[in-house]
Amino acid sequence: MLSRTPATSPRRLLRGFWPARKSVAGLLRAYGGIAVNRGRTRHPGTLGWLGPLEVRLAQTAAEVRRAQKLRYRVFYKEGHALADAKTKLARRDIDAFDPLCDHLLVLDHAATVKRLRQKPAVVGTYRLLPQDVARLHGGFYSENEFDIRALTARHPKSRFLELGRSCVLAPYRNKRTLELLWHGIGGYVKLMQPDVLIGCASLEGTDPNALKLLLSYLHHFARAPEVWRAKALPHRYVEMNRMPKEAIDPKAALRAMPPLIKGYLRLGAYIGEGAVIDYQFGTTDVLIILPMQAVKPRYLAHFVPNGSSEAA
């Protein structure tokens, strides 16, 4: 999932998460890839393999910085995101949430990066933010676009996990890599035991009318029931219902749907109400809500591993 905010510098974002006297330290954490002192999640080894590809959590600041470099390459160099001066200078996609999150990495051990010692190339990444950490530091990333607090308030006993900032290097954008990412997320879910997964997912483009088929399909065929519904913030709300249901060709809509959103729908995910245009990244964002109890049984075994480190 690509969860992004409008053009706001990391320093301004950080001021909302750390007191003024600590904002410089917080900024250095974000730029250095250093975790807030909360004990970064440790997993006993890999989360999965597919041939030379491995999925696991980043365990060092250097690995987080490599994930940020990949995000910069995909979002800014290959995509249409608009970089400010600080982002251009750092050549990394950095924000205030990076020190709070666990970072899932896909590593290609057959494509090493030459440094002081050779390391496998980071070819995919996903960012994971548990609710207990978000609560201590001002909330979820997606609260910049959607009313997440109303959703969590309706489910006070449920543990939420936010997923976002997903990207894969172009040569690796295939079914195998996506399956490995899912396998890694499933391993993390097994480790952390959340009840609900949430996060923003992006459609390319900022013209809702050009996206009317996809938005209308998600509205009519995947909108969350009231108990799980979260709305786009009023000042950012974009109507998704742009075509009558009977005018939609579901097969055509699914063919055009981004693979990540399609994967979530197959699992049983719901879509929030209203979309949000992110002009900085050139996307239109929708909210994914996936209660674990809604995961379809046929996909559950593939999504949440039963102990094997080999992705299916």
Residues counted in the chain: 312
Cβ neighbours, 10 Å, residue 24: 12
Dist. CA 73–CA 58, nearest whole Å: 18
Dist. CA 260–CA 166, nearest whole Å: 9
Dist. CA 243–CA 220, nearest whole Å: 9
∠ CA 220-168-260, rounded to 5°: 15
Tens-place pLDDT, residues 128-177: 999 999 999 999 999 999 999 999 999 999 999 999 999 999 999 999 99
Query: Do 184 and 106 form a contact (C-beta atoms < 8 A)?
Result: yes
User: How is domain 10-303 classified at the CATH fold level?
Assistant: Aminopeptidase (3.40.630)
Cβ neighbours, 10 Å, residue 188: 24
Dist. CA 187–CA 267, nearest whole Å: 15
Tens-place pLDDT, residues 217-255: 999 999 999 999 999 999 999 999 999 999 999 999 999
Query: Do 229 and 29 form a contact (C-beta atoms < 8 A)?
Result: no
Domain spans, the chain: 10-303
Residue type at 279 in one-letter notation:
Y
Tens-place pLDDT, residues 56-110: 999 999 999 999 999 999 999 999 999 999 999 999 999 999 999 999 999 999 9
Quote the mean pLDDT of the chain: 88
CA distances, 133 to each of 35, 41, 62, 149, 224 (Å):
11, 11, 22, 15, 25
